[in-house]
């Protein structure tokens, strides 16, 4: 049985050639992809995964809560950082700083199952990621075709 992985990444279709290829060639992983905070949350609450890889710059999707948070940022994915807020909503739902309160949280999900793959330099998001107790982060680079596979393997090792 293959290891189930969820990748929440708005540019996944653009990244198929260079990031997803190594994941499929690995042969041990069953990769699901969602491309917004709304889709990611729906998948997290309906299915279970051994690994979840999240981009920080996500569009909101069609859920009003994510749209409102995105609008507060001035319609800017980089400023909104919805991937971080999504992770906080599911990993630390009772935290007073959590911006999106959920009726249902995935009980199977823990920080050890989550990794981030994004273009932000780690120094810019490290305090937030550390607060979530997520230990896997990789900066996305067009020169690193194994980046997604590396994040998945790192999460699975933890």
CA distance 13 to 48: 23
46-158-103 Cα angle (round to 5): 25
% of the chain with per-residue pLDDT over 90: 70
Average pLDDT, the chain: 92
Residue 3, pLDDT > 90, answer: yes
Do residues 47 and 108 touch, judged by C-beta distance below 8 A?
no
Work out how many domains the chain is built from and give that number. Answer: 1
Residue 17, pLDDT > 80, answer: no
| Residue 60, pLDDT score | 95
Do residues 121 and 139 touch, judged by C-beta distance below 8 A?
yes
Per-residue pLDDT tens over the stretch 110-140: 999 999 999 999 999 999 999 999 999 999 8
Range of the domain at 29: 3-157
Residue 158, Cβ density class (10 Å: 0-12 exposed, 13-18 middle, ≥19 buried): middle
Q: What CATH number should be reported for the domain holding residue 52?
A: 3.40.50.2300
């Amino acid at each position: 049985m293959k290891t189930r992985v969820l990748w929440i990444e708005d540019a996944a279709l653009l990244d198929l050639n260079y990031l997803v290829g190594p994941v499929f060639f690995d042969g041990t992983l069953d990769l699901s992809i969602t491309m917004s905070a709304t889709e990611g949350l729906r998948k997290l609450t309906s299915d279970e995964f051994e690994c979840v890889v999240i981009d920080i710059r996500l569009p909101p999707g069609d859920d009003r809560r994510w749209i409102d948070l995105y609008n507060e940022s001035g319609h800017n994915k980089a400023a909104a950082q919805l991937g971080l807020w999504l992770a906080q909503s599911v990993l630390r739902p009772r935290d007073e700083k959590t911006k999106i309160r959920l009726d249902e949280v995935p009980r199977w999900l823990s920080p050890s199952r989550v990794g981030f793959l994004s273009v932000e330099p780690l120094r810019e998001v490290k305090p937030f990621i550390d607060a979530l107790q997520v230990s896997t982060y990789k900066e996305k680079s067009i020169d690193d075709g194994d980046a997604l596979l590396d994040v998945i393997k790192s999460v699975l090792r933890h």
